Amino acid sequence: MTLFIKLLLAHLIGDFLLQPTRWVIHKEARKVRSGFLYAHILVHFSLILLLLWDLSRWQLALLIAVLHYAIDLGKLYANPLFRYKSIPFFADQFLHLAVLYVCSYHTQLWEHSRMLMGQVNWPLLTAVVFLSFPAAIIMTRLLERMSDQIELDHKSLPNAGKYIGMIERLFVLLFILIGRWDAIGLLITAKSVFRFNDLKASNNRKLTEYILIGTLLSFGIAILTGLVYLSF
């Protein structure tokens, strides 16, 4: 575990702390011809050796640096294919972490992977997944007759309400797990305060009732899910 943590720390420092924005822009423009790409790889190689503090592991550092180069180069050429840059970004980070994991546990990869799978809290994972998109879809179906009577606010961010609902439900579940029921009340209050000005400005009774019902339904689903989880 210590080896993986050190490799992860080197990755975080190299990819986020020691990679200026101008390097990123230059790499995206020049790709394989960018000198900053190779400087970036050299930074990673040096950081791994520094944090491991063991020159005998230079081959491991070199292997990770070469694979990092291949993944970064693939991302640079894949970027134009995606409308949203978050997709190649997260794919790139996932591949980097996979490389670090395999390099850390290559001698016992299967055994360690099985051990990790055995430690997964499946009921909790199921609760978290349910409170994300499944709960959002269920709420959409339950409220669809009401939503047809509400004028759409085109100034709102696309799907903002859906993601706000997912985040708030996950917070409710967290508060239930740590036994802080009072924090759920504070969360409802905070949401009400943020919504107050919008509702006051719109002066729309239907919208107010719709938001109130949606909020209570969202919190209710999260609370019920938390109680079901605690019963296991």
| Phi, psi dihedrals of residue 187, rounded to the nearest 5° | -65, -45
Domain borders along the chain are 2-118, 122-230
Q: Please identify which residue in the block is written with the tokens 């993601």.
A: 163
Buried b (16+ CB within 10 A) or exposed e, 88-104: beeebeebbeebbbebb
- What is the C-alpha separation between 16 and 22, in angstroms, rounded? 13
| Residue pLDDT tens, the chain, 232 long | 799 999 999 999 999 999 999 999 999 999 999 999 999 999 999 999 999 999 999 999 999 999 999 999 999 999 999 988 899 999 999 999 999 999 999 889 899 899 989 999 999 999 999 999 999 999 989 988 876 666 655 566 778 888 999 999 999 999 999 999 999 999 988 877 776 665 555 556 677 777 788 889 999 999 999 999 999 8
Residue 77 has a CB neighbour count (10 Å cut-off) of 11
